[in-house]
Structure 1
Amino acid sequence: MKAIANALIVTIVTASSALAASGAAADEGGFLAPLFLTLGAAVIAFQTIPAIVLLGSMVKGLFSGKEEEGAR
């Protein structure tokens, strides 16, 4: 059990230093990163319109009086 714990500690220590020295954060992502974020923001913005309409319909249905069906 102690050998497994030591191996796990060694793996974590070496992996963290390798990730810290990779320099991956220096790249900004180029043109596609802002394009992707803009697309995501547009999808969220366009989904709010149907959500507001649905919420309004639900509130209207909740507070409207029940219509009684007349005898045929």
Structure 2
Amino acid sequence: MSDRVLALVTEGEEAARELPMPVIAYFLITFALFVVALGVTWSFRNTAYKVQAPRPGGQAAHGTSSGTDEAHH
């Protein structure tokens, strides 16, 4: 009895492990997605510097103002 159960279990495992595509196809799809994500990330390099408005007088910090406090009122 245990030999029959063992044989059925092994046959069941074989059917469950069958993939719809070859293993290399999974690798190629994953690699292509990685390259696309890398390209998107790479396309945004230095954008903070490009978008940043030039500051008069060379001010680098946010929240600093040139002039008096009355400029805020």
Q: Same fold per TM (> 0.5)?
A: no
| TM-score when normalising by structure 1 | 0.41
